[in-house]
Structure 1
Amino acid sequence: MEIVLNSYNTLIASALVMLIGHWLVFRIKFLSAFNIPEPVAGGLLAALVITLLNAATGLTLKLDTELQTTFMLMFFASIGLGADFTRLKKGGKPLVMLLALVSVFIVVQNIIGVSLAALLGLKPLIGLMVGSITLTGGHGTAGAWGPVLETQYGIAGATTLGIATATFGLVFGGLIGGPVARHLVRSQHREPVRNARERTGIEAISGTPRHEQGTESEEANRLTFELFDQPRLITAYAAIETLAMFAACLTSADLLGRWTQGTALELPTFIWALASGVVLRNVLTHIFRFQMFDRAIDVFSNVSLSLFLAIALISLRLWELASLAGPVTVILAAQVVVMMLYAIFITYRFMGSDYDAAVVAAGHCGFGLGATPTAIANMQAVTDRFGPSYKAYLTVPLVGAFFVDLINAAILQIFTQIPFLQ
């Protein structure tokens, strides 16, 4: 038996899933501690219920995919619209260095994924779904690449695998960040802030000059990373203005996708949406001196991602993952170990081998396996104990929330075109 939901029913179902997810995250400490997104919490519960019903009665659920595609394209357009390249200047050399380190790690992550997938008898491209698509990219990128791998490369259950892997990454990205940072900080023989105060009566010295401690890191945190549930003041005019920009990005993505189909420039539509957002943002800002309303972009970004994830998760067919469970677990375990080693021996050393570098390494663990909120949570756990780090709070959110998706999209496109991986 198959239940078919039209676009209106799909929107209602996704809204209900988000409300249930909100309640679960509020009530279950584990979910909030590891920054599990509300649509993921509610959606996985819905997917589990549907799986049990399928096992008992053969029931399947089919949702309207047009809304899902629209919300997915809006989310990637929002990433582009938020990518103002003047922020590179604010971050300076540390930001450029972290971008380079993250780029190399994305390549490493994908090499590990495809290599182990081939060794374990899986299609090599499955390794990308257990690589940077889901771990660096997160749920949004997983939901976008899943249908591409399913339709163009014949990998059944890619979307389901992607959502499950991205959730795994969120949890372990939060688990390893703290231990990695503690190991690095202890190697510097650094005392917790409280102990230093008790012993000397002054603030512990951080990578930031003492007179700048606290205020600058707090300001950097406030300016460069905005919590998804933080109240925002948005006018009707700003909302309409922002919707028009999203519409322009989606129209551009649709046209470019049609014009390049079957050519060497053919790319997934969501990449065109992201690229259109980048061009529109920087042209409007730097040529026409247009004042972008970032708060409105953030709100529409969060709403579109939440609805997209809710619809994608309700559509999951968890029973399709049974044959992949063992090999995927091996690959994920390897990815966690490599992330820890890379953060300790590469990220930490190239970012300066000081306290700031230790906090950055913790943040890299967060968005290298999970997402930017996980990175922020990791860094907060360290700075609450050992003191503030202005450099980390300036560079990590900018890389994790904006530029990493641009880099990841470009690298993934190269990997998918390698003949022996297909």
Structure 2
Amino acid sequence: MKTELLEGMLTLKVDMIATLAVAVSLLLIGYKIRNKATFFEKFCIPAPVIGGLLFAIIVLILRVWNIVTIQLDTTFQSPFMIGFFTTVGLGGSFRMLRKGGLILIIYWLLSGALASFQNIIGVVFAKLTGLHPMLGIMAGAVSMEGGHGAAAAFGPTAESMGYVGASTVALSAATFGLIAGGLIGGPIARYLIEKYNLKPEEADTLEIETYKQLAATGKKSEMSSHSIFVHIALITLCITIGSMISEWFSQVIDFVLPSYVGAMFIAVIFRNINDQIKLVNLDHYLIDTIGNISLGIFLSMALMNLKLWQLFDLAIPMFVILIMQVLFMIIFCVFICFRLLGKNFDAAIMSAGMAGHGLGATPNAIANMGSVTEKYGPSPRAFLIVPLVGAVLIDIVALPTIVWFMNLFQ
């Protein structure tokens, strides 16, 4: 770590090792707070959200009071994210997915419809509060379902069309959505699960029960240094091949395929081949452990690096639009998504995921679902459907919808 004076303010530059240390510490603090504060435990607020937001607030206070600004080196953030999705892929059995084909299509169509609804809300309330509809679109699907990536892409496009401040509005709204998406997903799933007394499918709980039996005997798995090396080698190999395929696909098709999606696909393919010919003795407890560690560190880094001061640029009309987006998301998840997705345990978990990536990003969705399943039981189908739609399939309908609205109201 080192300090220097940038633009008249003392700046603390935190290197990647120190950033990793802070992220792990915040994750542990988040778990500690959640265990002690019944509110967070009751409503399934993810520990990375608690710890990460706490740090982001502290950074905001230090910056506002002109004490110091903190720059983090989040080099490890992407590898941990890709590692988590690879472990998700290793848990994906085609036997399990065979029953969820129709649900995946329904979830995809719901995600596409959500983009239109968010743009309509943005346009309507922009007009009601005296803003140009284009800024409403920036606070619609661009920043909500699109997240920071779409905000960074479409904001400059809107500014080139003559709408000054569109980038700031889009990025600020995306920050707001990222926070909101991480806060409402858990409570939504909890409400649905407890209201309808929902339980995981018996087949999904079988592995969990096995873990409990192993834990009761003091032996959680056949874990050894050799087993750990084998699984790390397998995961990194899937990541490498998946990243190469993603890059090749993006160049050939001219469609960006995130590297973590490629890694997840390779992992799914290997899992199902391995089920037939047993190349490797997969230890699913160890895989889940590696996945949980990767997810926790990645999300902690993502949340602690939020630039909350961007929200200061939002005027009251923008807050009105964003509050309406959050209220609509709650209604959409509880009364539409849950029912159309089957009104069962998986539907409740996927509704939490919809709230996460519908307002923020796919990792938000995973955090929401992970927090709920940690308390109520597993939902492997949700952990495959939601990332696949949220990371790849949604762009097929969301991006054309955004472009159509921007051209309609320019």
What range describes the TM-score normalised by the shorter chain of this pair?
0.7 to 0.9
Match of 1:130 in 2: 144
SS of 2:76's partner is helix
In the alignment, does 2:253 pair up with 1:256? no
Give runs of aligned pairs for residues 104-253 of structure 1, distance below 5 A. 104-119=109-124, 120=126, 121-124=135-138, 126-127=140-141, 129-131=143-145, 146=148, 148-149=149-150, 151-154=152-155, 155-157=170-172, 160-174=175-189, 176-177=191-192, 181=196, 220-223=204-207, 232-233=220-221, 234-253=223-242
Give runs of aligned pairs for residues 22-421 of structure 1, distance below 5 A. 22-57=31-66, 59-89=68-98, 92=99, 95-119=100-124, 120=126, 121-124=135-138, 126-127=140-141, 129-131=143-145, 146=148, 148-149=149-150, 151-154=152-155, 155-157=170-172, 160-174=175-189, 176-177=191-192, 181=196, 220-223=204-207, 232-233=220-221, 234-263=223-252, 264-286=254-276, 289-322=279-312, 323=314, 324-343=318-337, 346-347=340-341, 351=342, 357=343, 362-369=348-355, 371-373=368-370, 376=373, 397-415=379-397, 417-418=399-400, 419-420=403-404
Q: Is the 8 A contact 1:98 1:399 kept in 2?
A: no
SS of 1:65's partner is coil
Moved more, 275-284 or 219-228: 219-228
Q: Give the counterpart letter for 2:141 in structure 1.
A: G
SS of 1:61's partner is strand
Scaled by the length of structure 2, the TM-score of the pair is 0.73
Q: Is the 8 A contact 2:258 2:391 kept in 1?
A: no
Structure 1 residue 304, shift from structure 2 partner: 0.9
- Change over 3 Å in CA distance of 1:58–1:159 after alignment to 2: farther
Q: Is the 8 A contact 1:76 1:273 kept in 2?
A: yes
Q: Distance in 2 between matches of 1:152 and 1:256?
A: 24
SS of 2:12's partner is strand
Q: Give the counterpart letter for 2:233 in structure 1.
A: A
Q: Is the 8 A contact 1:257 1:267 kept in 2?
A: yes
Structure 1 residue 331, shift from structure 2 partner: 0.8
Q: Distance in 1 between matches of 2:249 and 2:204?
A: 41
Q: Distance in 2 between matches of 1:287 and 1:158?
A: 49
Q: Distance in 1 between matches of 2:355 and 2:13?
A: 35
SS of 2:306's partner is coil
Structure 1: segments with no counterpart, 5+ residues? 134-144, 186-213, 352-356, 381-392
Q: Is the 8 A contact 1:180 1:361 kept in 2?
A: no
Q: Is the 8 A contact 2:186 2:369 kept in 1?
A: no
Q: Is the 8 A contact 1:172 1:336 kept in 2?
A: no
Structure 1 residue 159, shift from structure 2 partner: 6.2
Structure 2: segments with no counterpart, 5+ residues? 1-9, 127-134, 156-169, 357-367
Q: Distance in 1 between matches of 2:306 and 2:96?
A: 38
Identity of aligned residues (%): 19
Scaled by the length of structure 1, the TM-score of the pair is 0.71
**Match for 1:18 among 19, 27, 38?**
27
Q: Is the 8 A contact 2:14 2:72 kept in 1?
A: yes
Per-residue displacement from partner, 1:239-296 (whole Å, max 9, x unpaired)? 1111112211222243234434554243222322322322333333335554322222
Q: Distance in 1 between matches of 2:96 and 2:116?
A: 30
CA RMSD of aligned residues (A): 3.5
Structure 1 residue 153, shift from structure 2 partner: 4.1
Q: Give the counterpart letter for 1:244 in structure 2.
A: A
